Structure 1
């Protein structure tokens, strides 16, 4: 499969490695200094090449939209109609930034919307899928969970069942378990999980930096739920 990655940052570079190893062909782009991608390109060899944001959008049958939230409008202006009809997997969280570059969740925005719904409105002919937004980049690699009895799930949401099927396969290729949250509106709850994880990192683990250790998954009871007769 041809995959374009906009923007190849901390999330995009990890998924690029996994998807190249799974046999996909990539064009990677950087919203900023693309010279920073030289080590990644050297590592991936003929499985990936450098392109502009527009070139990566045009190349991909599937496009990873892993863009810094305040830069969305600018990137959408660059890609124009290049994403029409394509599966677009977006990884964003609605993070604002203060004057001294402290990030925070935009809770007012999150109350009535999601980055996925916003992007779908901006790109009405694209097939938006929410995914890969609940794991911090340092643990967005299957190897980080090699000693864990239960790998984390990657929740995804979309209004397009066929696009969801494609995303499901790419989540598996990255080494994770896909968990279908359907429909796209469920991206609101997926993004709110990020707020929950920050609370858990602070109060259970003693510091926000511990967020990088945390993942969520769905665990099924085995062999079955234990049903007891109700008592009065």
Structure 2
């Protein structure tokens, strides 16, 4: 499969490596200085080539929309027509940034929408899937969990069942378990889980920096539930 990556930053580069290893071909674009991609392109060899935002959108059978939230409209402006009918895997979180480059969740926005829904509204002909928004880039590699007792789950949500199935396969190709969270509107809860993870990092691990270690997983009881008669 050909995968266009908009934009190939910390998260996109991790997935590029995993997907190249799984046999996919990549068109890498950078929302900024693309010279920074030279080492990654050298590493991936003939599995990847450089392209503009528009070229990566046009060439990809599926597109990873891994864009900084304040840059969404600018990137959509470059790629919108090229994404008609395509599966677009969206990874954003609704973060505001102040003059000191401190990031905070846009809680007012999150009450009534999600970045996935906002992207779908701007590109109604695209097949948007929410995924990969809950893990920091340093742990978005299967090797980071090699000795962990459980494998993280990557939650995904979409109104397009076929797009969801395709995304599920790419999640598994990246080395993770896939968890179907339902329709695209469920992206609101997925983004709110990101807020919860920040609270856990601050309170359980005594610092937001520990967020780079955390992920969520769904665990199924084994051998199964223990049912008892309810007390009156």
Per the normalisation by structure 1, the TM-score is 0.99
Structure 1 ranges of 4+ moved more than 4 A = none
Q: Which residue of structure 2 aligns with residue 200 of structure 1?
A: 200
- Computed over aligned residues only, the root mean square deviation of the Cα atoms, in angstroms, reads 0.5
- Structure 2: distance between partners of 1:207 and 1:120: 34
After superposition, the C-alpha distances for 1:180-224 in whole angstroms (9 at most, x for unaligned) are 001000000000010000000000000000001101010000111
- Structure 2: distance between partners of 1:100 and 1:206: 22
**The residue matched to 1:175 in structure 2 has which SS?**
coil
- Structure 2: distance between partners of 1:65 and 1:214: 22
- Structure 2: distance between partners of 1:213 and 1:62: 29
- Structure 1: distance between partners of 2:76 and 2:128: 13
Q: Which residue of structure 2 aligns with residue 38 of structure 1?
A: 38
- Structure 2: distance between partners of 1:195 and 1:25: 34
**The residue matched to 1:11 in structure 2 has which SS?**
helix
Structure 1 stretches lacking a partner, 5+ long:
none
Counterpart mapping for 1:73-92 below 5 A: 73-92=73-92
- Structure 1: distance between partners of 2:3 and 2:136: 22
Q: Give how far 1:99 is off.
A: 1.5
**The residue matched to 1:58 in structure 2 has which SS?**
helix
- Structure 1: distance between partners of 2:229 and 2:149: 32
Q: Give how far 1:231 is off.
A: 1.4
After superposition, the C-alpha distances for 1:146-187 in whole angstroms (9 at most, x for unaligned) are 011110000000000000000000000000000000100000
**The residue matched to 2:108 in structure 1 has which SS?**
helix
**The residue matched to 2:40 in structure 1 has which SS?**
helix
Q: Which residue of structure 2 aligns with residue 16 of structure 1?
A: 16
Q: Which residue of structure 2 aligns with residue 141 of structure 1?
A: 141
- Structure 2: distance between partners of 1:185 and 1:147: 34
**The residue matched to 2:81 in structure 1 has which SS?**
coil
After superposition, the C-alpha distances for 1:118-166 in whole angstroms (9 at most, x for unaligned) are 0000000000000000000000000000011110000000000000000
- Structure 2: distance between partners of 1:139 and 1:164: 23
After superposition, the C-alpha distances for 1:10-48 in whole angstroms (9 at most, x for unaligned) are 100000000000000000000000000000000000000
Q: Give how far 1:80 is off.
A: 2.7
Instruction: Note if 1:163 corresponds to 2:163.
Output: yes
Instruction: Note if 1:210 corresponds to 2:221.
Output: no
Total equivalences in the alignment? 232
Q: Give how far 1:229 is off.
A: 1.0
